[in-house]
Amino acid sequence: MHTTQQRTRLWHTPTGYAASHCTNCEAGWTRTGKDGGRLTVCLLDREPVLDDMTDCDHFEKKAAQPL
């Protein structure tokens, strides 16, 4: 069982590769927390994206969303 403190640490805004690619990838999705924190999860491994990622050989840019 996770404590409130453990769950809170997961909520962070992606930076680096995760911000530029994972948040824009067909295999990624993002949840937003009540205080504005964002958690980006990769559907390939069903885990939050890693802060120190530098590349992914499965990146596929999301199709443009109509306004």
pLDDT tens digit sequence for 45-60? 898 888 888 999 999 9
Q: Is the pLDDT of residue 8 over 60?
A: no
**What pLDDT, on the 0 to 100 scale, is given for residue 4?**
53
Rounded Cα gap, residues 23 and 41, in angstroms: 9
Strand partners, 6: none
Tell me the pTM. Answer: 0.69
28: β partners: 42
pLDDT band at 9 (very low <50, low <70, confident <90, very high): low
Q: CA torsion, points 39, 40, 44, 46, in degrees to nearest 10? A: 0
